[in-house]
Amino acid sequence: MTTLLVYAPALGHTKFQHPESSQRTVALWRALERSGLLPRLHQLPPVPATVDQLRRVHTPELIEYVHQVSLRGGGLLDHGDTYVTASSFELALLAAGGCCAAVDEIMTGAADNGFALIRPPGHHAETDRVSGFCLFNNAAVAARQAQVAHGAQRVAIVDYDVHHGNGTQDIFYEDDSVLFVSIHLYAPYFYPGIGGMHEIGVGRGRGYTLNVPLPPYVGDRGYRRAFDELIGPRLAEFRPDLLIVSAGFDAHWDDPLASAGLSLRGYADITRKLIGYAQELCAGRILFVLEGGYQLDVLTVGVTNVLHALLGDDVAQDPFGRMPQEEHDISDLLARLKTHYLSK
């Protein structure tokens, strides 16, 4: 098994006391060094994405806007949540380009699977708008790389970050060649405020966006059921040539920004399911792309568990245990989602 590791820590893209800082990738690297996993991974150096690669999913105006703000030394965008530093443009190119390089290796069979530990994250970046700490949509750029450079007919993106992947949804909303699945917390005043079950795509893309909007405190059992009863069957119908995972670790119960209630054991379960879907449907071709996750100990153990699973190890650590609250039953919600999305 050849498992890729792309590491683009974006040390120059950081802001004091901002949750999405370079402390995240630095902590990940330290944890990987301690884990003993590094010698077993094929480390792929990130290369910058070209503007042409970005233009497959973003408008030229958006790309130029981020470039210009960076050239002027940086600034705050998107009502102050999303920052740009003097080096952010170059570093965001490395993040997206690192994902494309990994897709190249996986689609040509040079590698089996991989994890892109990259920043800044991407899934909130829309066609023409930066948003939610995200500048360019790394997972979307990677999906288009598989299609344009390698002839993939169908790519599925599964986003289990606790926030809805509004950027990825926006980019592929009218597209039937990319199935976008987002499972996320959906509650009043919770960012980004969209991702309801009625959002299913438009035109040719109708039916190719699958939103699983969860109430707080769903926990491991509800997530497992959503994958078994809804997401897995929809992926099997779609038959992707490549599976990309927008991997956010902020659905953990101890994350400071959210309350979805997943444990690290629960994360490991859904990771194994996703790897299993890829093995059944697309010869194991799966790329995990880092999105959110702001409790650093959760993030590092969560990522380490994914890497073990990609390597085929039966290892999953969970030093935090289960959510202290009782898990919220989602039987009724799942029944409605199944009639909505799996009517055939």
**Is the CB of residue 314 less than 8 Å from the CB of residue 269?**
no
Catalytic residue among 124, 163, 164, 308: 124
Using Cβ positions, the residue closest to Zn ion within the complex turns out to be: 292
Rounded Cα distance between 338 and 344, Å, is 10
Q: Which one, 191 or 320, has the nearer CB to Zn ion?
A: 191
Q: Which one, 163 or 285, has the nearer CB to Zn ion?
A: 163
CA distances from 21 to 69, 138, 327 (A): 19, 17, 31
Per CB under 5 A, residues contacting Zn ion are 161, 163, 248, 250, 292
For the CB of residue 332, give the shortest distance to Zn ion in the complex, in Å. 26
CA distances from 163 to 16, 100, 190, 250, 282 (A): 23, 23, 8, 8, 27
**Is the CB of residue 167 less than 8 Å from the CB of residue 189?**
no
Q: Which one, 163 or 308, has the nearer CB to Zn ion?
A: 163
**Is the CB of residue 102 less than 8 Å from the CB of residue 4?**
yes
For the CB of residue 124, give the shortest distance to Zn ion in the complex, in Å. 8
Q: Which one, 13 or 285, has the nearer CB to Zn ion?
A: 13
For the CB of residue 133, give the shortest distance to Zn ion in the complex, in Å. 8
For the CB of residue 250, give the shortest distance to Zn ion in the complex, in Å. 4
CA 180 to chain centre: 11
**Is the CB of residue 289 less than 8 Å from the CB of residue 251?**
no
Q: Which one, 122 or 205, has the nearer CB to Zn ion?
A: 122
**Is the CB of residue 222 less than 8 Å from the CB of residue 270?**
no
| Residue 124 appears among annotated catalytic residues | yes
Q: What is the dihedral of CA 77, 291, 240, 228, to 10 degrees?
A: -130
Q: Which one, 122 or 292, has the nearer CB to Zn ion?
A: 292
Q: Which helix (H) or strand (E) segment is 338 a member of?
A: helix 331-341
Helix axes 88-107, 138-150, angle to 10 degrees: 40
For the CB of residue 165, give the shortest distance to Zn ion in the complex, in Å. 9
Burial class (CB in 10 A: 0-12, 13-18, 19+), 29: middle
Q: Which one, 208 or 294, has the nearer CB to Zn ion?
A: 294
Give me the half-sphere count of Cα atoms (radius 13 Å) on the Cβ side of residue 246: 40
For the CB of residue 125, give the shortest distance to Zn ion in the complex, in Å. 13
| Tokens 């449907």 belong to residue | 281
For the CB of residue 93, give the shortest distance to Zn ion in the complex, in Å. 22
Burial class (CB in 10 A: 0-12, 13-18, 19+), 153: exposed
Q: Which helix (H) or strand (E) segment is 47 a member of?
A: none
Rounded Cα distance between 223 and 182, Å, is 12
Q: Which helix (H) or strand (E) segment is 190 a member of?
A: none
Q: Which residues are catalytic?
A: 124
